[in-house]
Amino acid sequence: MTLNAYRCPNGHVTYPEHELCPECAEDQTEIIDLSDETGEVVTWTTNTATPPGVRQPNSLAIVEFEVEGSSVRAIGQLADDAEVEIGDEVRPVYAEQLRDPEAGIREEESQEWDGYRFEVV
């Protein structure tokens, strides 16, 4: 699994995927895999009132990646034991299960439960 950002022909980089670039409305043609990159924590928070199946407490961070002269931000969970501060360098780490599929209100088969968390480098 990859953590993909997208670039349009005019060089704008976005995450998550949009059908058209939010800045210039061009098709997003290039895929940029962020899963092997490191980024910087812009801000973070800990949520103690989480949706069904999401761990409690659930710490989240907004992380900024530099991609060939452009920056793009992604939001995601922090690794379980991560103690993080603004400005820390983090890397994406694949997690097979970000939430308990049995605790949701939708059919398990209709949801993807994997993704990325951020771990302090």
List the end-to-end C-alpha distance of the chain, in Å, as a whole number: 20
Question: pLDDT tens for residues 50-104?
Answer: 888 888 899 999 999 998 888 999 999 999 777 899 999 999 999 988 888 777 6
Half-sphere exposure of 33 (CA within 13 A, CB side): 6
Contacts of 55 (CB under 8 A, 6+ apart): 80, 99
Cα angle 5, 11, 16 (rounded to 5 degrees) comes to 20
- The pTM of this model reads 0.87
